[in-house]
């Protein structure tokens, strides 16, 4: 248990099964999304986060199923993982969407995008919101998820420049590392900052060299005595 364990991160690799997402000759978006989620899960668990997945295999799921699952599990943060495509091959780079008016969502989008830009050799296109004509969020997951939700579009499969990076075998792991760093930074800075120590340590200047040496000697003597005690207990136990 640590300060991250109270957060359940819901990983939703976009598309799957009969829905391939963006498709180029050598890659389907659903597979890349899934690879990133699979790499990210263990990294988050290692940090202390709890993790849930929308899908752990290549299967067809509706957006409603994904979001209902996340809401039923009380997810704290919902990561909708996608990669982009466009008719113009010059469109390239990474962007992260959040819900308009959601301040924490915006901060999360910003920290994650910054880490993506640091980690991956692709340009940042900024954090964005997108609304339908009635003003509600365009993306179903962002509109209906109760968690802090962001939708990632980390690179364009249709950009030869981006694809050169995205096709590298280490790409999903590198993207996962960046997302994890962004999440940790977000929690540390905006959700649960370290409490300030109410009793500051004494200023070093007030400790005279003599008293420092004295305290070291005392500590050493205690340590020595303690070691002797442990060794004699161990020896006694061996003799029995």
Residues that bind Zn ion (CB under 5 A): 14, 21, 82
Nearer residue to Zn ion within complex by CB, 55 or 82: 82
Nearer residue to Zn ion within complex by CB, 30 or 107: 30
- Minimum distance from CB of 139 to Zn ion (Å)? 10
Confirm if 137 and 143 have CB atoms less than 8 A apart.
yes
Run of H or E including 237: helix 209-239
Nearer residue to Zn ion within complex by CB, 113 or 184: 113
Residue number with the shortest CB distance to Zn ion? Answer: 82
Query: Rounded to an integer, what distance in angstroms lies between the CA atom of residue 165 and that of residue 159?
Result: 10
| Among the listed residues 80, 11, 81, 82, the one whose alpha carbon sits nearest the alpha carbon of residue 45 | 11
Which tokens belong to 51?
A: 């993790």
- Minimum distance from CB of 12 to Zn ion (Å)? 11
Nearer residue to Zn ion within complex by CB, 14 or 172: 14
- Minimum distance from CB of 21 to Zn ion (Å)? 4
Nearer residue to Zn ion within complex by CB, 153 or 165: 153
- Minimum distance from CB of 126 to Zn ion (Å)? 18
- Cα 228 from chain centroid (whole Å): 47
- Minimum distance from CB of 55 to Zn ion (Å)? 14
Nearer residue to Zn ion within complex by CB, 4 or 14: 14
Query: Which residues have a Cβ under 8 Å from the Cβ of 233 and sit 6 or more positions away?
Result: none
Query: Rounded to an integer, what distance in angstroms lies between the CA atom of residue 229 and that of residue 240?
Result: 17
- Minimum distance from CB of 88 to Zn ion (Å)? 17
Confirm if 94 and 155 have CB atoms less than 8 A apart.
yes
Confirm if 181 and 115 have CB atoms less than 8 A apart.
yes
Nearer residue to Zn ion within complex by CB, 14 or 16: 14
Query: Which residues have a Cβ under 8 Å from the Cβ of 165 and sit 6 or more positions away?
Result: 120, 121, 122, 155, 171
Query: Rounded to an integer, what distance in angstroms lies between the CA atom of residue 43 and that of residue 156?
Result: 25
- Minimum distance from CB of 141 to Zn ion (Å)? 11
| Among the listed residues 127, 112, 120, the one whose alpha carbon sits nearest the alpha carbon of residue 186 | 112
């Amino acid at each position: 248990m640590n300060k991250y364990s109270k957060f359940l991160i819901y990983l939703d690799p976009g598309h799957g099964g009969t829905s391939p997402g963006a498709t180029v000759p050598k890659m389907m978006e659903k597979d890349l999304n899934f690879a990133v989620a699979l790499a990210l899960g263990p990294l988050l668990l290692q940090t202390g986060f709890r993790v849930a997945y929308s899908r752990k295999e290549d299967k067809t799921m509706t957006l409603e199923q994904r979001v209902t699952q996340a809401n039923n599990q009380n997810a704290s943060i919902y990561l909708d993982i996608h990669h982009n495509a466009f008719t113009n091959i010059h469109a390239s780079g990474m962007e992260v969407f959040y819900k308009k008016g959601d301040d924490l969502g915006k901060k999360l989008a910003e920290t994650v995008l910054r880490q993506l830009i640091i980690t991956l050799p692709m340009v940042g296109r900024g954090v964005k919101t997108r609304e339908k004509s009635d003003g509600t969020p365009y993306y179903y997951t962002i509109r209906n998820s109760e968690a802090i939700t962001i939708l990632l579009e980390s690179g364009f499969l249709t950009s030869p420049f981006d694809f050169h990076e995205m096709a590298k075998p280490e790409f999903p792991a590198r993207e996962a590392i960046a997302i994890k760093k962004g999440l940790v930074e977000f929690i540390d800075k905006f959700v649960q900052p370290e409490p300030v120590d109410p009793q500051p340590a004494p200023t070093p200047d007030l400790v005279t060299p003599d008293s420092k040496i004295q305290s070291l000697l005392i500590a050493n003597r205690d340590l020595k005595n303690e070691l002797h005690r442990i060794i004699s207990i161990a020896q006694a136990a061996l003799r029995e």
